[in-house]
Structures are given as structure tokens and as C-alpha cells.
Structure 1
Amino acid sequence: MRTRTDELRANLVQVQERIEKACQAAGRARDEVTLVAITKTFPVSDVRALAGLGIQDVGENREQELKSKAPECPELSWHFVGQLQSKKSRSIARYASVVHSVDRSALVEALSKAAVAEEKTLRCLIQVSLAAYGTADAATGASRGGVAPADVPDLAAQIAVADGLELGGVMAVAPLGADPEKAFAGLREVASRLRSEHAGADWISAGMTGDLEAAIKHGATHVRLGRALLGTRSPLG
């Protein structure tokens, strides 16, 4: 009988093949791209199974799941990838090593205070809004979050001098209805300008199950995959 670990192993093989082919097509080395497994709604047993298969980076988009799973697998690098309320910064700083969704000054202040209290350095990525490249988002008024590209320099400067924080780079989600090629090309330009002012801010967190190839083509250093690895998620209560 096929076990859950067997399923995850087969999915991981397929994902790694996709990443490898995308890197080859882009003329990049495979080790330039880190796979972050997004395990939201799935049990910690799946996290352990993925760790046993070689996954080292795991992401959550809800604080409740992060704080329940991270202590069970402290050897992993935990990434917080969801929209974050400032009041939950202390919990995020305690359990995560990277926050992908920093999008406002108040959050920088809260995360800085929390990181200092936890006596750690928290790597922060600025979430960039690519809404200008979408059609469905614009029509419905929906938003994937993030700051406008023009506002990235000011937020970056604040993170760069904040105690307990390290400016890591940028993150984005391709908008609904967008051509991911155009969206991620735009993100790459934002990332390039950021690196010209902050040389160490060289991460580009972009690409999910449906668009990882376009993201890697345009410089993604971290791809965030859930469905391709773990299957269809259960609805959250």
C-alpha cells in the first residue's frame, strides 16, 4: 500500500524536475533556487516526512499554524509568508527565521521590537505589489498585499537600520489575470534597484505551483510551493 511518505516523495521528485528544467532553461545553476514547502492546513507529520526527504525550508501563512508546528521541527528553517498583524509579531519572531511579507512601517517597528526581545535576527523581505500587471485584481478590487514599487526604497531603508532585522530582498505574488512573465520581470527590476542600494538584499521570493518557471526565469531565488508538493488543501476552519 502506498504511504503518505511515498506520495510526498513522488511529488517532490516531480517538483525538483520542474525546478531543474526551469533553471536549465534560464541558464542558472540549480543551487541558486531554494524550495520552500508551504504546509498550511497540513499536519506536522507531513512536515516531518518532507524533512526526511531532504526539505529544509518550510513556510506557513498563519501564525497559529506556525507556532504549533515549528516547535515540533526546530531543526528546519521556518518562513512566514502570509499577511501579518503587528500584534502577532512576537510570536512570528519567536518561531520564524524569515518573514516574506513586510509591507508597512508599523510592521517593521513591531518586528524589530519582537526580534530584540527574542534575542535573534529576523530576515525580512519586502512584499511588493504587482497589481499593475493584473486584470482580475483590478476589476474586483482584490489585493495580494504589498507596497507599491515606488515605496520600496523607503521601507528598505527603515528595515536596514532596525535593530534585530536584516533586509533580505523582495517577495511578490503574481496578480490574478496577470501574465507572470511580465509581472516577475517587473519584480526583477525592483529587486535590481534594491540591490544597488543594499548589496546583501539579494533574495527574490516568487513563484508558486502554477508559475514557478516564469519566476525562475526572472531571477527567483526562493519558490514557495504547496499544492504541487502536498496536494489539494483542506478548507480552513
Structure 2
Amino acid sequence: MTERHDLPDPARRAELAENLAKVEERIAAACAAAGRARDEVTLIVVTKTYPASDVRLLHELGVRNVAENRDQDAAPKAAACADLDLRWHFVGQLQTNKVRSVLGYADVVQSVDRMKLVTALSAGAVRAGREVGCLIQVALDADAGARGERGGVAPDGVAELAAAVEASQGLRLDGLMTVAPLAGAYAGRQRAAFGRLLEISSGLRVRHPAANMVSAGMSADLEEAVAAGATHVRVGTAVLGVRPRLG
């Protein structure tokens, strides 16, 4: 996989097509191993640090779900691709002062982790006259009542936050998201971490049956996520290549 990202479009398109095919093979094999249908898992390509030209090439190659984690990068990129039928996911830690901008393009915010953010998202969605999907980000490395190092609410806070989203105008409770923790009991145990997320999801769906989206797994651990039951995997490096350093 090349580390160059200034290739002319035909060469870059071929590179992306090859990488997408490899990721598709991995997802299909993981689904088969888990006894799941391939269409049970949606690929979200994480395009952070990459240009709008790559997003356009991915769209040509059939990608319809893309994710970003920094609004300052995502907003102009989404604007440049506004003519494409893409579903934009915001997956980074979101400050309330960025909510209005994020709601200008994001169809789903996967990183909802506190009441203040729910309030801001609801107000922004109502102001924009639209409905926005929300995933509760679960921090499996967080103690009761705390947030994780990479954002997210502790498992014991999911029910309260989910109820707040469900009751808020302009918001739709879609499910849960997690990032495999780097510390705590689940560090280095991705399959166990994702299995725990599915347990929390099962409990959530007792009260919120439609909240059946489970976003877990990235380039290095998508197989473990699929095995555990994830409905969406977020893959960046395996599709786009080694990320350029941010200045």
C-alpha cells in the first residue's frame, strides 16, 4: 500500500479500488465466519486528513458512507462534495460550539456522550429543520459516571443519555458506538470489548427497539467487530493508505 497521496486521479482511483476490494474481502470473510449475511454490515470509510478528490473517487467506486472527526476539515470537504449522494458520519469528540457547523452536513453523529451535547444537537437540528441520527458513544475504559480518554460515556450512563436523545426534538436514537479501549480491562481485548458493546446494545433495544445500529471496529480489528455482531465498521487506513502527518 503506497504512502503517496498525490497520485494523478487514474492511479489514485486504481489504488483505492484495490484497497476497497481487499477490505470487502475481509468483511465478507468475517461475515461468513460468523454465519452472517454480508449485507448485515455497512462499511463506513473514514476520510479524515484526505482531500475531497479522494471522497469523489470513493463515490465513483460505490462508497456511500463516509466519516470525519474534525469539523474544520469536514465542513469544507462536505461542501465540495455536496452534489454527491453521500451519508456523512461525524465520529470525533464534538464541542458544542461546533454543533451548528456539523449539523450542516452530518447525517449521523456517532459521538454523543453527554447531556450538554444532546441539548445543543437538539436545538441545532430544530433550528435547521432537520432530523439527525445519534449514536451514544460508549467508553468501555470509563469508571461509573465518568468519560473515557477517547470520549464516550461509561456503560452505566447509556440508558439516561439514550432516553434524553429519544425525547429530544430533531434527534433520532440510532444505536451505539465504541472505540476499542487502550487502557482498562478491555485493553488489547477487542473481541471482548465489542462483545460487551453488543450486550449493552441488547439492553438498550429493550426500551428503544429501533436503536439497532452498532458501530465498532476499524482497520486493524474489523473482523473482531463483525464476529461480535457490529452492524457498521469504520475503516480508514486500510482503504486510503497510511495517513499523512498533521501539521
TM-score range, shorter chain: over 0.9
Moved more, 124-133 or 15-24: 124-133
| 1:82 correspondence with 2:88 | no
Deviations 1:186-236 (A, max 9, x none): 111001100111000000000000100010111111100000000011122
RMSD, aligned α-carbons: 1.6
Cα contact 2:113–2:153 (8 A) shared by 1: yes
* Higher helix fraction (1 or 2): 1
Identify which of 172, 181, 205 aligns with 1:175: 181
Identify which of 31, 37, 40 aligns with 2:48: 40
Cα contact 1:9–1:53 (8 A) shared by 2: yes
Structure 1 stretches of at least 4 aligned residues deviating more than 4 Å after TM superposition: none
SS of residue paired to 1:16: helix
Query: Structure 1 stretches of 5 or more lacking a match?
Result: 134-141
Instruction: After TM superposition, list the pairs within 5 Å mapping 1:126-205 onto structure 2.
Output: 126-131=136-141, 143-176=149-182, 177-205=187-215
Q: Which residue of 1 aligns with 2:5?
A: none
Q: Which residue of 2 aligns with 1:138?
A: none
Question: What is the deviation of 1:178?
Answer: 2.4
Cα contact 1:81–1:99 (8 A) shared by 2: yes
Q: Which residue of 1 aligns with 2:26?
A: 18
Q: Which residue of 1 aligns with 2:71?
A: 63
Cα distance in 2, alignment partners of residues 215 and 132 from structure 1 = 20
Question: What is the deviation of 1:132?
Answer: 6.2
Cα distance in 2, alignment partners of residues 26 and 162 from structure 1 = 36
SS of residue paired to 2:157: helix
Q: Which residue of 1 aligns with 2:81?
A: 73
Q: Which residue of 1 aligns with 2:224?
A: 214
SS of residue paired to 2:25: helix
Cα contact 2:142–2:154 (8 A) shared by 1: no
Q: What is the count of residue pairs matched by the alignment?
A: 230
Q: Which residue of 2 aligns with 1:137?
A: none
Cα contact 1:19–1:212 (8 A) shared by 2: yes
| 1:100 correspondence with 2:110 | yes
Cα distance in 2, alignment partners of residues 36 and 118 from structure 1 = 25
Q: Which residue of 2 aligns with 1:121?
A: 131
Cα contact 2:138–2:154 (8 A) shared by 1: yes
Amino acid in the other structure paired with 1:154: E
Deviations 1:3-41 (A, max 9, x none): 000000000000000000001111111111111010111
Change in CA separation of 1:223 and 1:190 when aligned onto 2, cut-off 3 Å? same
TM-score normalised to structure 1 length:
0.94
Question: What is the deviation of 1:118?
Answer: 1.0
Change in CA separation of 1:119 and 1:132 when aligned onto 2, cut-off 3 Å? closer
TM-score normalised to structure 2 length:
0.90
Cα distance in 1, alignment partners of residues 246 and 136 from structure 2 = 26
Cα distance in 1, alignment partners of residues 61 and 230 from structure 2 = 23
Question: What is the deviation of 1:144?
Answer: 1.8
Cα contact 1:94–1:115 (8 A) shared by 2: no
SS of residue paired to 2:104: helix
